[in-house]
Amino acid sequence: MLTSDVVVVGAGMAGASVAAELSDRLSVVVVEAAASGEEHSTGRSAAALLPSYGSPVVRALTRASRPLHESRAAEFGVPLVQPRPLLWLATDDQSEHTLAAMARTLPDMETLTAAQAHRIYPPLRPERVRSAALDSSAADVDVAALHQTYFKTLRQRGGTIRFNAPVREIRRDARGWQVTAGDHVISCAKIVNAAGAWVDEVAERAGVPPIGIQPRRRSAFVSPTPYAGDLSGLPLAMDACERWYVKPEAGLMLGSPADATDVPPGRPRPDELEIARALEAIEETTTLGLRSVQRAWAGLRNFVADNDPVVGARTGHEDFHFLGGQGGYGIQMAPALARLTADIVAEGALSQESAQYGVAVASLRPDRLSPSDALPHPATPGSLGHVS
């Protein structure tokens, strides 16, 4: 039997980052059902840091994460973050109203005319654009490299990772918890449940009320483009109502219909009809000429009822901590969210640093959510990614 202060369930970006942050204070074992931590949401991300994207809580954590991303880049000598502005576009009444509301809420965004947006984004069809706004602080993130820096930190500090180790049983023991994961039995004082779409299943195995996680499918694709200009310098372009986005990706264009279809936990397939809709919308708004799909995939974005992340323990279950519900923002806010979570798990309160992030702990705690929010998910083949 292994012993550890903490077992972290899940080795995606959430689990890897919080494990690394905890490992300078506590002994940590990470268990992951898959052969790597990139199999689900982490490996299917759009790889972007968008400070104007998400709820006020998400935006605060994203702002706090930017210098932490940069400090990790300096520490490991890897360019983790590269500037790529975000161009918000309004093409109809609904998106124009939405963009105007965003501009009032986010004074750092630069409001643009269609002509100004066209100068910034030459393949734009300016006659299709009613208004636009530029978030110059946005950036690309090297997700794989960032993920590996957290694994390196964890291992350097003596932490361990067990892949191919689905959680089979969680029960109480004299130390606190006994976790059976794959062939491993681990005795620990605390559990951090960072199992993504499976956080409720893991919680139920421990006898802890669920948080009502709802996985939502997001489809994505890459397409060749005949556009002859400099692709690498183009911003990420996004519809203000989040109906599509497109950005350069290694000489191609990566796009998405920004779909958010409720699905059970598992390995979703891309929605071909939604991708076709996005291609049509991008063609109407730009001259990129995206007419064929070279590759398509889908990932899970995991939400709770109020669409904000969940951090910490339920009352009466103080040694079982959630880190979930990151939605589509898990990569961009990972550094700050991991540090804040580690403070709560290890110390029971925010540190002086994480208190400066501008996020109230009460807005993250699972007790804000009723167990009745939990939705039943029908079993699907291969859906048990973190438990079995």
Asked whether residue 380 carries a pLDDT value surpassing 70, the answer given is no
63 domain-assigned = no
Report the pLDDT value the prediction gives residue 371, as an integer from 0 to 100: 62
- Regarding whether 283 and 232 lie in a shared domain, the answer is yes
Asked whether residue 379 carries a pLDDT value surpassing 50, the answer given is no
Averaged pLDDT, 64-73: 95
Report the pLDDT value the prediction gives residue 339, as an integer from 0 to 100: 98
- Regarding whether 296 and 154 lie in a shared domain, the answer is no
Integer angstrom CA distances of residue 194 from 161, 228, 322: 14, 44, 6
- Regarding whether 256 and 119 lie in a shared domain, the answer is yes
- Regarding whether 310 and 290 lie in a shared domain, the answer is no
Domain that holds residue 36: 2-45+143-213+305-373
Of 281, 301, 321, the one marking the end of a domain is 301
Asked whether residue 189 carries a pLDDT value surpassing 70, the answer given is yes
187 domain-assigned = yes
Of 47-61, 313-327, 371-385, which range is least confident?
A: 371-385
379 domain-assigned = no
Asked whether residue 377 carries a pLDDT value surpassing 90, the answer given is no
CATH number at residue 190: 3.50.50.60
Q: Is the pTM of this model over 0.85?
A: yes
Averaged pLDDT, 126-154: 97
280-329 pLDDT, tens per residue?
A: 999 999 999 999 999 999 999 999 999 999 999 999 999 999 999 999 89
Asked whether residue 41 carries a pLDDT value surpassing 70, the answer given is no
- Regarding whether 255 and 232 lie in a shared domain, the answer is yes
- Regarding whether 364 and 222 lie in a shared domain, the answer is no
220-259 pLDDT, tens per residue?
A: 999 999 999 999 999 999 999 999 999 999 999 999 999 9
For residue 228, what are the contacts with CB-CB under 8 A and spacing of at least 6? none
Report the pLDDT value the prediction gives residue 388, as an integer from 0 to 100: 39
254-283 pLDDT, tens per residue?
A: 999 999 999 999 999 999 999 999 999 999
243 domain-assigned = yes
- Regarding whether 296 and 149 lie in a shared domain, the answer is no
326 domain-assigned = yes
Of 301, 317, 332, the one marking the end of a domain is 301
Q: CA–CA separation, 253 vs 221, rounded Å?
A: 8
Report the pLDDT value the prediction gives residue 175, as an integer from 0 to 100: 77
- Regarding whether 173 and 95 lie in a shared domain, the answer is no
Of 301, 335, 362, the one marking the end of a domain is 301
315 domain-assigned = yes
380 domain-assigned = no
Report the pLDDT value the prediction gives residue 39, as an integer from 0 to 100: 62
Tell me how many domains the chain contains: 2
68 domain-assigned = no
- Regarding whether 125 and 250 lie in a shared domain, the answer is yes
- Regarding whether 234 and 365 lie in a shared domain, the answer is no
